[in-house]
Structure 1
Amino acid sequence: MARQGRSEQHRGDGASDGAPGGGAPARRAGRLPRGVPYFAVLALAVVALLAGGAGGVFQGKLSEVQQNDNTAYLPASAESTVAGNEAARFSASTTLPGFVVFHRDGRLTAADRAAVQAAVTAIRSVPGVAADTVFASYSADGTAAAVYAPLIAKQGGTAVSGDDLSATENAVIDAGRRAPPAGLQVDPAGPAGLLVAFIGAFAGLDGTLLYTAGGIVVLILLLVYRSPVLWFFPLFSAVLALGLSAMVVYALARSGAVTLTGQSQGILSVLVLGAGTDYALLLISRYREELHRYERRSDAMIRAWRQSAPAIFASGATVIIGVLCLSFSELNSNKSLGPVSAIGIACTLLVMTTFLPVALALAGRWVFWPRRPTVTAPVAPGATGAEPGDPAELSGGLWGRIAGFVGRHARPAWITALVLLAVCLIGLGGLNTGGLSTAQGFTNRPDAVVGQEIYDARFPRGTGAPAVVVTDVAAVEQVRAAAARVPGVSTAAGSVCVRTDPAKLSRIPITRGIQGLSGSPQDCPPPALQVTPIDGRTVVDVVLADAYDSPAAFDTVARLRAAVHAVPGADALVGGTTAADLDVRQASVHDRNLIIPIVLAVILVMLALLLRAVLAPVLLVATVVLSFLATLGVCGWLFGPVFGFAGADQSFPLFAFVFLVALGIDYNIFLMTRVREETLHVGTRRGVLRGLAVTGGVITSAGVVLAATFAVLGVLPLVFLAELGFAVAFGVLLDTLLVRTVLVPALVHDIGRAVWWPSRLSRGRHRSATGGTEPELVTAGR
């Protein structure tokens, strides 16, 4: 950008640009907005370049600070968290249950059983495994064996990282698969195996996801700009923003200030790439427009920056405040997603409003080759800046024709759009948000899912991941009796007992399998083998009859809580893997009901401040919410019958809402800020048509880019991200192609100047191009 004191007659910039020498001399675009001096923009551009480049190495290190277990998601006040913390006092370490399953189509052979016993010995020697509790058991039909191999998830109060858990589980599987007899199938199972499979699903974040998203962005930018050069600038800027975001997020996650999950890391990547490209498209579109009016590229960029920056900052601020509303969540994972996403958008705003404009201004017109813009309508000397485009723009080009059509058929257009959205709403009844089991959460079939299916088919399903009841010692017998009567609790021997102390058990010969560790109300290990009470409290393990992550198990835990809470003087709390999953599901529903209204209120206030009106923001929010509900309806039609998903997670509507509304409102912001700018000169009805004509191409391109980047989430083999990616992609396209193109412009055109109520624009007077005022113009067909 040129320095502020540079002479207006200096032509070196334009000459080096290759701009035409003829025509009226171009007027300087003026200063940047007050409080934004040139040196500050240049300094921030340098900071963005250096920090973003250096931050690239942190993108590959984010997996080191991920936490993907449900207990890390829950608040300290959750019952399962409190019970888990109490139960942790009874052992030096907290374990994550896991199994190695051995299976043959026929009965196990003697060689198979010898291999199982060898695996027990080998697994006990794996660092990170609770060796004292590694035992083998055999199915009743003799076709399968399971080695119970729990991983140490917390040692001495310090949680083991996801990478370390994954490495330990892989070592366990390697030990189990060490030279098995031919035909013997060996697979992981249980919470440990499924968690490691879940962590492994994010291994593509640093490669497959980013490269696929980047490739799609490049392709779309090539189609949009039809230039072999220009695509590099927005993509490189987005990469810088991603590196800067990764550096900040890594530092905060490592210090414990935020909880980073694999899901939030994946969302961060596509959010920065998608939103960054959107902001770049808006700036570059306005820059190209101004290059037709200003001979000096620096003047054109200053003007473009001044005109596009308010919409970009308003869009970014809306997304930032919208995602920060997740801070009201009960779930730590949701709470942290807000700051993680906000950091990503803030870094994107910094790079796209400093580095990108400086780089483009320094590069010159050649970046648009082979369609370099030339000065065709120079700004007259003495003019304060470029006026809106000529009304003739409505008669030419695709978007001019679309705007003309909307203007001539405004009322039928918005009624038709509403009917189409209403049809989509019919599918809402088919959307199942009751949750998914861990095995159902994968789009593929990892070994852990295969092993879990074999285990569930041949062993008592609840064994290995019992519910954990912490109770006063004085009421322990009443608690055991109450728990044993709960429907859904296993009735097999050894299902409801005071926890066995592995250290005590290790000092005597073990003849029972894993079922013998628990006991039952009638046949429990003797008190000499039970954990020693602490502060008058003890632990009772309750084996469930169903798989730990099944809906039936969740119902059982709910009944179990009601039963033991009713025992007088017990002060009983229920925790364990199933209880933690249940608390996560309940917290997700709570978060959805609380946060959605907050986000709507915040966005409404932001729009009211931006547009200086009340009716227009209400209209925009209503259309975006309708678009969101229509998207959920389409998801209800497609998720089960077409995609084959078993359902959707309870948090899916909340995540889809936050990103669809916060991002979908962007396109209405881009449109309506330009409409307001045009309205000041030509009135509301002509202003909305002109705004649609000049922004249609860039906003549609931005929507396609954002939709494509979120759709890339489907490359990760997780149902939740595949569903979220589809919902955001479809919803963004719906907003871009129907809501912003037809519904909003047609409604604004039909309502007229009243849409700006209660501002002065609603009273029907506006500035004309000559500086005077004239009444609201009525377009043809009105």
Structure 2
Amino acid sequence: MGAGKTKGRRAIPWVVLALWVGVLAIASPFAAKLADVQHDRITDYLPASADSTKAAELQERLPGGETTELVLVYHRDGGLTAADRATAQEQVTRVAGEHALTGPPQGIPSEDGTTLMYPVASNEPGTDEEKRDAFVDAVRQVAHGEGGLTVEVGGTGALATDASEVYNSLGGPLLYTTVAVVAVLLILIYRSPVLWLVPLVVAGIADYLSMAVAYGLNQAFGTSVSGQSSGIMTILVFGAGTDYALLLVSRYREELRRIERPYDAMRAALRGCGPAVLASSGTVAAGLLCLLAADLNSNRGMGPLGTVGVLCALVAMLTLLPAVLVLLGRRVFWPLVPAYGSTPKARRSLFAAMGTSAGRRPLTVLAGGAVLLGALALGALNLPGTVKQQDTFVDTPESVAAMEVLARAYPQGSAQPIDVLTPAARADATLTTIQGVDGVDSARKGRTGEGWTEISVTASAPPQSAAETATIERLRDSLDGSYVGGASAQQIDLKDTNARDRLIVVPLVLLSVLLILGVLLRSLVAPLLLTAAVVAVWGASLGLGGLLFEPVFGFEGTDPGLGLLTFVFLVALGVDYGIFLMHRMREESLRGAEPAAAALTALRTTGGVIASAGLVLAATFAVLTNMGLVQLVELGFVIAVGVLLDTFLVRTYLVTSASVALGRRVWWPGRLARAPEPEPAREREPVVG
């Protein structure tokens, strides 16, 4: 009977391994197709209900589909020569001969004679991103200068192509960089030539599975997949997955010292840390799913994909990782093998020292930390305004260089059209109304189809300036039943929609996190404490961004969605570590430890694991700072800094100090909030002599 039971236990890890092989075989064809459904069109990043989105969708339905708009910019510092103008005319004529343009290009010279621009528009690519990029590249091959004549291709189409190049580069470089960073950290943490490889390989398998599930969601529910959302999904798989692995491996090592068989030790480890891992992943998933309430397409799509990444990491780390570790046995820890019956070498713990200082003067530490976080949060007042489209690149691509030349050469005009989509039956009346709007320089009717007419409007003010914004607002106020779109209108809608999404998503995230924490910790005070701590971290991280983005990094603006996305990630991921700490604190309290002792023991036993996990997660998000778009760099910076603040300041000092100061009240109104009743004194039995 005993031998059969042992044989059955030995078979379980092999069964789990076989099941994963089967799952991967099924998932493989779907994972490979995720890149085919990834799109980075402007409508994938716009608000679902905004005017500019409706305009872009209607443009796709017009004859020829979506219009790709370019501007060929010819410039010579000392002034264009006759030969330069002839070169420009020759090249533009060649472009018109090789591609189907919406109209003959007309050159517009600058007043100072240094620049000549040719707006070019084509419906040839339609909505196909690859065709758009091929069209832009073909035009760039034709448009070139020499001998001091610079020729650059700008416009919204060229900007989209340059942005697409950055997003397409996210897949490979982001994955390889993330894997390399996690590998280095795991080697340093485990100090083993083999152990680091196991969670890394399992995380890679979880990432592959998440790609298949993401593709399935796209096919079943139409979930949007963009370069940004798929990149964040990969980061979450490796970051969160490695965190769960660190917690499990740490507990498994602990159990191997007191339990002889690896299988039984792993069961004990899963029982010990499983609830905390499940709760933490559930908190992250719930927080990310709140993004489904957002109106911004990119945010709403990121919610399901981020959740898929976290849950795939969870399943892999709680099934595949334990199976592999059990099959490899104790030797996987070589050279630091945890022998049965051994005790770990006693070392002075940094976190024990930190806990002692926090426990000695809890109120002083708490007040000092609160003042520091508050002071850092004030830096958010210095955050630059909304980033302009041409300022979204870390390095200046050709499209941005072209727009900068245009801004200098045509300071009073706009080379970026405003698109108005109006019912065809009212096209003439709409055109007359537009021409009478203050701030409009010119307007002309474009394509007609599907009952709609496109009117191209040129403002008298530079693109994305306050004056052009006012012109767009006046157009929207003056036109009923028409939609005002274009690049500048899209930026306005992005800013407005992000403000609206914050009012809806932030309360949902806070409520979902508080509910999960309340159920897990059986308390109202502890969840409020943890939530307040992570909100303070978010404010301080944004404040650091305000102090560094423009003065140090030279960024001209911030993405409108930075506040919302960083809030969702930092609150959900920050509470993650709070769960690890408070869950262990609750375990110690249930064993009868006094509140202060329980808090300090929890910090001493989990501090090292939480620190390692925080370093890994911060490093994975820091990978985004190496990408070529300002919004990704800012997102990665704020989240990485926030995770480090949470790990080494808030979780170690402030939460521990607050727990010591509150005592049993931290568990109110649960039973742990009440002092244990003293045992009744036993009556002494009479002595029989």
TM-score (norm: length of structure 2): 0.91
| Alignment match, 2:534 | 624
| Alignment match, 1:558 | 473
3-state SS of paired residue (2:5): coil
3-state SS of paired residue (2:74): strand
Range moving further from structure 2, 713-722 or 103-112: 103-112
C-alpha distance in 1 between matches for 2:130 and 2:4: 53
Q: Contact (CA 8 Å) 1:234, 1:280: kept in 2 or not?
A: yes
| Alignment match, 1:614 | 524
**C-alpha displacement at 1:442, in angstroms?**
1.1
Among residues 204, 217, 228, which one is paired with 1:263 in the alignment?
228
In the alignment, is residue 322 of structure 1 matched against residue 287 of structure 2? Answer: yes
Letter in 2 for 1:689: L
| Alignment match, 1:174 | 141
In the alignment, is residue 496 of structure 1 matched against residue 443 of structure 2? Answer: yes
Counterparts of 1:189-228 in structure 2, within 5 Å, are 189-228=154-193
Range moving further from structure 2, 738-747 or 163-172: 163-172
| Alignment match, 2:559 | 649
| Alignment match, 2:199 | 234
| Alignment match, 2:670 | 759
Counterparts of 1:346-385 in structure 2, within 5 Å, are 346-376=311-341
| Alignment match, 1:313 | 278
Rate the CA distance shift 1:52–1:441 in 2: closer, same or farther, 3 A: farther
Q: Contact (CA 8 Å) 2:351, 2:652: kept in 1 or not?
A: no
Letter in 1 for 2:459: L
C-alpha distance in 1 between matches for 2:153 and 2:120: 10
**C-alpha displacement at 1:90, in angstroms?**
5.1
**C-alpha displacement at 1:702, in angstroms?**
0.3
C-alpha distance in 1 between matches for 2:159 and 2:427: 36
Decide which structure has greater helix share.
Answer: 2
Count of aligned pairs between the two proteins: 678
| Alignment match, 2:150 | 185
Q: Contact (CA 8 Å) 2:287, 2:572: kept in 1 or not?
A: yes
3-state SS of paired residue (1:542): strand
Among residues 593, 606, 626, which one is paired with 2:503 in the alignment?
593
C-alpha distance in 2 between matches for 1:714 and 1:143: 37
**C-alpha displacement at 1:560, in angstroms?**
1.7
Rate the CA distance shift 1:202–1:81 in 2: closer, same or farther, 3 A: closer
C-alpha distance in 2 between matches for 1:652 and 1:103: 36
Q: Contact (CA 8 Å) 1:469, 1:542: kept in 2 or not?
A: no
Letter in 2 for 1:653: G
Task: Point out where structure 1 has 5 or more consecutive residues left out of the alignment.
Answer: 14-37, 379-388, 502-530, 566-570, 775-782
| Alignment match, 1:5 | 5
Rate the CA distance shift 1:470–1:52 in 2: closer, same or farther, 3 A: same
> Deviations for 1:552-578, whole angstroms, at most 9, x for unmatched residues?
43332112211334xxxxx34323333
> Deviations for 1:510-561, whole angstroms, at most 9, x for unmatched residues?
xxxxxxxxxxxxxxxxxxxxx58x75x6443321123444444333211221
> Deviations for 1:695-753, whole angstroms, at most 9, x for unmatched residues?
00010000011011101101111111111111000000111011110111111111111
C-alpha distance in 1 between matches for 2:413 and 2:151: 18
Among residues 715, 721, 726, which one is paired with 2:632 in the alignment?
721
**C-alpha displacement at 1:188, in angstroms?**
1.7
3-state SS of paired residue (1:222): helix
C-alpha distance in 1 between matches for 2:18 and 2:352: 39
| Alignment match, 1:82 | 54
In the alignment, is residue 152 of structure 1 matched against residue 119 of structure 2? Answer: no
In the alignment, is residue 285 of structure 1 matched against residue 246 of structure 2? Answer: no
C-alpha distance in 2 between matches for 1:454 and 1:199: 22
**C-alpha displacement at 1:264, in angstroms?**
1.3
C-alpha distance in 1 between matches for 2:52 and 2:116: 31
Counterparts of 1:95-110 in structure 2, within 5 Å, are 95-110=67-82
3-state SS of paired residue (2:339): coil
| Alignment match, 2:435 | 484
| Alignment match, 1:638 | 548
C-alpha distance in 2 between matches for 1:456 and 1:576: 18
Among residues 376, 398, 405, which one is paired with 1:454 in the alignment?
405
Rate the CA distance shift 1:320–1:153 in 2: closer, same or farther, 3 A: farther
Q: Contact (CA 8 Å) 2:202, 2:317: kept in 1 or not?
A: yes
Rate the CA distance shift 1:695–1:194 in 2: closer, same or farther, 3 A: same
| Alignment match, 1:699 | 610
Rate the CA distance shift 1:255–1:109 in 2: closer, same or farther, 3 A: farther
| Aligned CA-pair RMSD | 3.0
Rate the CA distance shift 1:620–1:550 in 2: closer, same or farther, 3 A: same
**C-alpha displacement at 1:438, in angstroms?**
1.1
3-state SS of paired residue (1:653): helix
Task: Point out where structure 2 has 5 or more consecutive residues left out of the alignment.
Answer: 682-689
C-alpha distance in 2 between matches for 1:109 and 1:237: 64
Letter in 2 for 1:173: R
C-alpha distance in 2 between matches for 1:422 and 1:623: 12
Q: Contact (CA 8 Å) 1:56, 1:240: kept in 2 or not?
A: no
Letter in 1 for 2:553: F
C-alpha distance in 1 between matches for 2:125 and 2:507: 38
In the alignment, is residue 421 of structure 1 matched against residue 385 of structure 2? Answer: no
3-state SS of paired residue (2:591): helix
C-alpha distance in 2 between matches for 1:183 and 1:3: 86
Rate the CA distance shift 1:76–1:637 in 2: closer, same or farther, 3 A: closer
Rate the CA distance shift 1:250–1:4 in 2: closer, same or farther, 3 A: farther
C-alpha distance in 2 between matches for 1:663 and 1:85: 36
> Deviations for 1:307-340, whole angstroms, at most 9, x for unmatched residues?
1111111111111110010000111111110011
3-state SS of paired residue (1:689): helix
Letter in 2 for 1:615: V
Q: Contact (CA 8 Å) 2:125, 2:131: kept in 1 or not?
A: no
3-state SS of paired residue (1:422): helix
Q: Contact (CA 8 Å) 2:393, 2:629: kept in 1 or not?
A: yes
3-state SS of paired residue (1:94): coil
3-state SS of paired residue (2:523): coil
Q: Contact (CA 8 Å) 2:47, 2:494: kept in 1 or not?
A: no
| Alignment match, 1:577 | 487
> Deviations for 1:131-170, whole angstroms, at most 9, x for unmatched residues?
6455544434333333333343874xxx32x333222211
C-alpha distance in 2 between matches for 1:53 and 1:419: 54
**C-alpha displacement at 1:371, in angstroms?**
0.9
| Alignment match, 2:685 | none
**C-alpha displacement at 1:80, in angstroms?**
2.6
Rate the CA distance shift 1:454–1:204 in 2: closer, same or farther, 3 A: same
Q: Contact (CA 8 Å) 2:58, 2:421: kept in 1 or not?
A: no
C-alpha distance in 1 between matches for 2:464 and 2:4: 65
3-state SS of paired residue (1:727): helix
**C-alpha displacement at 1:765, in angstroms?**
2.9
Rate the CA distance shift 1:731–1:89 in 2: closer, same or farther, 3 A: closer
**C-alpha displacement at 1:690, in angstroms?**
0.9
Rate the CA distance shift 1:618–1:649 in 2: closer, same or farther, 3 A: same
| Alignment match, 2:63 | 91
| Percentage identity across paired residues of the two chains | 39
**C-alpha displacement at 1:586, in angstroms?**
1.3
Q: Contact (CA 8 Å) 1:189, 1:448: kept in 2 or not?
A: yes
Rate the CA distance shift 1:59–1:706 in 2: closer, same or farther, 3 A: farther
Among residues 340, 359, 362, which one is paired with 2:305 in the alignment?
340
C-alpha distance in 1 between matches for 2:97 and 2:676: 83
3-state SS of paired residue (1:270): helix
**C-alpha displacement at 1:437, in angstroms?**
0.8
**C-alpha displacement at 1:73, in angstroms?**
3.2
TM-score (norm: length of structure 1): 0.81
**C-alpha displacement at 1:258, in angstroms?**
1.3
Counterparts of 1:457-468 in structure 2, within 5 Å, are 457-459=408-410, 461-468=413-420
C-alpha distance in 1 between matches for 2:131 and 2:427: 39
Rate the CA distance shift 1:579–1:303 in 2: closer, same or farther, 3 A: same
C-alpha distance in 1 between matches for 2:187 and 2:114: 58
